[in-house]
Amino acid sequence: MSNFSIGNLKLTVPIVQGGMGVGISLSGLASAVANEGGVGVISCAGIGLLYKNSSGNYNEASIFGLKEELRKARELAKGVIGVNIMVALTNFADMVKTSISSKADIIFAGAGLPLDLPSYLQKDSITKLVPIVSSTRAALIICEKWIKNYNYVPDAIVLEGPKAGGHLGYKEDQISDNNYSLEELLPDLVKNIKIVEEQNNCKIPIIAGGGIYNGEEMRKILDLGASAVQIGTKFVTTTECDASLAFKETYINAKESDIEIIKSPVGMPGRAILSKFIERVKEGTEKPKSCPFHCIRTCDYTKSPYCIIIALYNAFKGNFNKGYAFAGSNAFRAEKIISVKETIKTLMAEMKLSTKN
């Protein structure tokens, strides 16, 4: 059992499922995690592509798609459902407003500093706001701005380390530098957030993630002061994960040497599994001819080696000749596809065993 809570949201396991786009964590995975007592998270990145039949307008399809996924998750789950929204998305505001009006339990906002996030709340809003950061400095800047401008303290903070999958908030040379490891960064954040808690007479639980793959690793992170862990990669190879079977098998078939750091058109490094598409990108043969979605603020298609949203959408469908899978550093450890229930049960048993030892 867990005493982990985010405000009035009580969780029975200290696990937040990482938001994974395009289409990897939707209502299927999020509801399964929520039903086991963790926080299930829907990623809204590229969701308009998945619902393109609902509207010829990408932004309208994104709003419709997020509403649909939240509705389906609510039908399937009794637990806590969150939405992961990248600050770098051009439709960030629409995704935030949709999450709040649809009464998502939590918004997790990363890939940039969500400095104005509390401004979207209404008087009757129930949605909790949780920024995702990669440093103590970023967390303190957000706390300072939110408190000063909105009299609002983050309901929790996610610290994402450099072993995470997808886009990373680190410079390339920091990713393999032990000084920037989750284990190094976490105690400093815990110490500084305690000061914010004391000054504001509040509780800000810290959720730490990036490369955590078993219960023993969970226990180490919790012992360093985190209230919960964020896990993404481990949940990709579950029955309920919304990705295609081919996507899941890419994890199972991956060798450690297949997982590498790539340069994303978003302007951040990312961790992905090597594919034929990535090899062609390295050769410079993938060039976008236009920008049909303008999904990322920082992306200029005239200078981009490829369109990232289309590459991730192709991977979601299992087409690795035209896309690639983002993955955490431990994706190669996946051996088989099992249920979310079994995954969480194993993680908690391993954690309990490591505590005894």
Encoded tokens for 203: 């509780």
> Which has the closest alpha carbon to 240: 324, 146, 343, 339?
339
Distance CA 308, CA 21 (A): 11
Tens of pLDDT, residue by residue, the chain (357 residues): 467 999 999 999 999 999 999 999 999 999 999 999 999 999 999 999 999 999 989 899 999 999 999 999 999 999 999 999 999 888 999 999 999 999 999 999 998 999 999 999 999 999 999 999 999 999 999 999 999 999 999 999 999 999 999 989 999 999 999 999 999 999 999 999 999 999 999 999 999 999 999 999 999 999 999 999 999 999 999 999 999 999 999 999 999 999 999 988 777 899 999 999 999 888 877 665 655 666 566 656 566 667 788 889 899 999 999 999 999 999 999 999 999 999 999 999 999 999 776
Q: What is the pLDDT of residue 326?
A: 95
Distance CA 294, CA 90 (A): 7
What is the amino acid identity at position 165? G
Q: What is the pLDDT of residue 310?
A: 86
pTM of the model: 0.95
Q: What is the pLDDT of residue 88?
A: 85
User: How do strand 206-209 and strand 325-326 relate by DSSP bridges?
Assistant: unpaired
The full set of domain ranges for the chain reads: 5-243+338-356, 246-326
Residue ranges in the chain assigned as alpha helix (H): 27-35, 47-50, 58-76, 92-101, 136-150, 172-175, 182-200, 215-223, 233-236, 245-253, 276-283, 308-317, 340-356
Residue 223: DSSP 8-state: H
Distance CA 306, CA 328 (A): 22
Q: What is the pLDDT of residue 89?
A: 87
Whether the bond into 340 is cis, omega within 30 of 0: no
- In words, the CATH class of domain 5-243+338-356 is alpha beta
Question: What is the torsion angle, in degrees rounded to the nearest 10, for the CA atoms of residue 240, residue 243, residue 246 and residue 252?
Answer: -60
Q: What is the pLDDT of residue 246?
A: 96
Distance CA 68, CA 48 (A): 11
